[in-house]
Amino acid sequence: MEKYRLLLTGNPGTEDVIAEEAMEELGAVKVVEIRRARGRVVVDAPGPLTLLTDRLLSMRSIHSAILLLAEASVGPRMNDLKEAVKSIMKSALPDFIPAGSTFAVRAERVGEGHEYTSMDIARLAGDAVVRACEERRGFRPEVRLNSPSIIIHASVVEDRFYAGILLTGERSRHRRRYRVYDHPAALKPTLAYVMLRLARAKDGDHIVDPMCGGGTVALEAAYLFEDSAITCMDKNPRHILGARMNAAAARVEGRIRFIVGDARRLHEVIGEASADVIVTNPPYGIRLGDPEAVRRLYRAFIPSLRLALSPGGRAAIITTESDYMIELARKAGLKLAHVRKVRHGDLWASIIVLERIE
């Protein structure tokens, strides 16, 4: 059976979840490389390529998937990049560009201390593709920056150069098409999926997001679980309306209960010990502009969360106030089950997983 090397990209800090989901969705996968805190995972996966692409499109933790065809070590200088890009000339990448097709290069640079930019990576990689097609296949492919038939993804991640064919389309997979209402501090759907996994949510659970904003957690849960009761709650009626709009666009509105309610009184609104899983993205101090207001919210919310959780229930919370949140949880009698740093927009935040052990 044919095997293909894939570069999977996702949210920095979630690389292990990406690898786990790849093993679940893509068959007999071998994890080749994990770039921790960089959102990059390289795997070898069995073909055929058309079936593999379909399975990649079902993954919910990734932003993109690239058929990896060229890679090399690379240093920080421009000459180092020029040497690394030569790997394209020796690779099978030109074989994936049919005569008469158009292509464009989309490039990224991750890390510090490089003399070159992503534009330099794109320019040099594009030149290498043209030369390789001319020399080995006898034609010069046309570069088309808008709506090309083939997108080549080239990147430098610290000390490694990667190039290949983008399989999952130019639109990042975290940009779900259901999002017609965009909350000003929206959680990426890929992070919502990761948080549901870390909270060990399963079909049949009552899953609650008490500060749901645009409803991202609830919508991801509705896609994952057929028999779960899902509650989407926010104190702002405008956000609940927006969450309903998103749910309607996703065609899951009938599977979610929407409540205008205060998270500080969660146990009163939904009932004590009624939630099996709570996953939420509460406000951060940097977003509210008043860190003390955030702490007041957390001081009221965490005891109510404990009362709302069923015994053995879990909560996953993302916040920049991790130390304070953990201390409040300890005082409330909640067990700290897991904590990790993830990139959330332009911030490094922590996902904290808490468990009610009684």
Does 90 have pLDDT greater than 90?
Answer: yes
What pLDDT was estimated at residue 179?
87
Residue 36, pLDDT above cutoff 70: yes
Tell me: domain 3-166, CATH 3.30.2130.30, correct?
Answer: yes
Task: Note the pLDDT of residue 272.
Answer: 97
Q: What is the SS3 assignment for 212?
A: coil
Residue spans per domain, the chain: 3-166, 189-355
pLDDT digits (tens, 9 = 90+) for 133-161: 999 999 999 999 999 999 999 999 999 99
**CB-count exposure of residue 108 (10 Å: 0-12, 13-18, 19+):** middle
- pLDDT tens by residue, 207-249: 999 999 999 999 999 999 999 999 999 999 999 999 999 999 9
Which tokens sit at 164? 């290949």
Q: What percent of the chain has pLDDT over 90?
A: 88
CATH topology of domain 189-355: Rossmann fold (3.40.50)
Q: What is the pLDDT of residue 345?
A: 83
Q: Please, are residues 211 and 283 in contact by the beta-carbon 8 Å criterion?
A: yes
CB neighbour list of residue 274: distance below 8 Å, 6 or more residues apart: 206, 308, 310
Domains 3-166 and 189-355 are alike in CATH topology: no
Q: 326-337, pLDDT tens digit by residue?
A: 999 999 999 999
DSSP per-residue letters across 248-291: HHHT-GGGEEEEE--GGGHHHHH-TT-EEEEEE----HHHHS-H
| For range 111-131, the mean pLDDT | 97
Residues 6+ apart with CB under 8 A from 52: 4, 6, 26, 45, 46
